[in-house]
Structure 1
């Protein structure tokens, strides 16, 4: 099987997350996309909703797609083990016979190339990636400018995907709309919209 690991805070999960996962699965012929909510212990993530709410919304959002799956590995690991390198090691042990890819945006590729990720060398040297275009980022140039990335670019390690549409509506925008009494209803699944309203999430 070909499996994509799609990590994000999913705070909340949006229609763009789902569209992106579906597009990547189709373009790269993935058999499964695993939604991986990031640990609240990570220094670069500070979720606004509790883990239980983020997990509940992902379950609602992916319920009708057999290719989508939830894994809460990062929510349960010990402090110090919440880094993507260890996460990919976990999935390689879980799926030893399968072809695994970490799905990320081009902005994260730039950060890894600049040495901003813990265990970045080991992560890049031992894994494969599907990298989604982000506005204003030249993915080929980002790889070429970084010794870490270019020295591991064997033609298969970085699968670059231009989604074709600039759908960049963020979870931050949706949270701000909820906080200010806005109406972001059609930016996320109806089930998640109702869940947020019922539980009073993201209110200022």
Structure 2
């Protein structure tokens, strides 16, 4: 019987918001994942420095995923002073789970289209599958991808979780679009972002005076 897969959701989570939860839960059900590891970045290299400290971002993720079956916080990256890169993270997880355990890296379509700019990006496919969340009615099209990414996509889109790594698997995310930038802007302006944030997150932000509160 094939091993169940483990999902991996990395990000700054600055702050964690409802779209993160929707992506993780949809992927967990769609691919029958054993669990989803949430891995907040410490020193991300693909975006600006986080507004909140690593300890605050860890605390917010912990609040967001509390009492949600199948979600687990991995604090290793956030507690490290080393830059956060995907390939070293996957190598660390391979040491933890072994060579045969299917690992599934979760990403949105925009992040996937930018994959060729990632550090050592081609090595990702030897370490994990890549599950790409798309919005309803949107189809990943090789014609809009960088040529090197299109070649990988055309080769790998028919792979399966029977292997430990190597497939690219699009899936539809039926959820509203939320960005951390929009959430921070609303919070700073004194507006309530409502269901954009998981329960307890806005209280934490206000209590700890994050994002200009």
Choose which of 86, 89, 97 in structure 2 pairs with 1:87.
89
Is there any run of 5+ residues in structure 1 with no aligned partner, and where?
A: none
Give the corresponding residue for 1:161. 171
Gaps of 5+ in 2: 160-166
Calculate the TM-score normalised by the size of structure 2. Answer: 0.84
1:61 to 2:70 alignment: no
Cα distance in 2 for residues equivalent to 1:202 and 1:133 = 29
Q: Per the alignment, in what secondary structure is the counterpart of residue 204 of structure 2?
A: helix
The 1-side partners of 2:143 and 2:93 are apart by: 27
State how far apart, in whole Å, the 2-side matches of 1:5 and 1:31 are: 11
Question: What RMSD in Å do the two structures reach over aligned CA positions?
Answer: 2.3
Residues 143 and 30 of structure 1: is their aligned pair in 2 closer, same or farther, counting only changes over 3 Å? farther
* Count, aligned residues: 200
Give yes or no for the alignment of 1:171 onto 2:183: no
Moved segments of 4+, more than 6 Å: none
SS at match of 1:139: coil
Contact residue 3 and residue 34 of structure 1 kept, 8 A:
yes
| Contact kept in structure 1, 2:6 and 2:104, CA below 8 Å | yes
Of the structure 1 ranges 54-63 and 32-41, higher mean CA displacement relative to structure 2 is found in: 32-41
Q: For 2:192, what is the secondary structure of its paired residue?
A: coil
In the superposition, the TM-score normalised over structure 1's length comes to: 0.88
1:114-133 deviation digits (Å, cap 9, x = unpaired)? x2111012223442111111
